[in-house]
Amino acid sequence: MSYLVPGGCDYFIEQQVMVLLAEHCSVPRRKIRFESKLCEDLGMGGANLADLVERLNVAFRIGLSVDEVCAWRSVADLCRLVGNARGEGEERRKLLL
């Protein structure tokens, strides 16, 4: 399903983030929930987190920093952060046109 490819479409951002997290953390997608904690449940931290930020930036064509992602605790928080970054990028592109 192409809509589940991270960055593949502008909809289903939450599902795309979860697919990317599952691949990155080597965890089955069905085990990742909105309430899953990035550090405690998925083992995110340090260099692993920096790699995730890079993957998110490339897949979704956004510019998140590790500090922004560290501020969030759950998968739901991360989904909101990616969604907001996508929306801000789209707004900037519209203003430039």
Q: What are 63's two structure tokens?
A: 């510019």
Domain boundaries, the chain: 2-96
What are the residues facing 74 on neighbouring strands?
Answer: 37
Look at residue 10 in the predicted model and tell me its pLDDT: 58
- Top CATH class of 2-96 equals mainly alpha
The model's pLDDT over 22-46, given as tens digits with 9 standing for 90+, comes to 999 999 999 999 999 988 888 887 7
- Collapsing DSSP to helix, strand or coil, 95 comes out as helix
pLDDT (0 to 100) of residue 20: 93
pLDDT > 70? residue 57: yes
Beta-bridge partner residues of 15: none
Q: Is residue 74 helix, strand or coil?
A: strand
**Which sign, positive or negative, has the C-alpha torsion 49, 55, 60, 66?**
positive
**Contact at 8 Å (CB) between 38 and 72?**
yes
Checking if the pLDDT of 19 tops 70, the result is yes
Residue scoring higher pLDDT (33 or 3):
33
Q: How far apart are CA 88 and CA 12, in angstroms?
A: 17
41-50 b/e with 16+ CB inside 10 Å = b?
A: bbebeeeebe
Q: Kindly report the pTM of this predicted structure.
A: 0.77
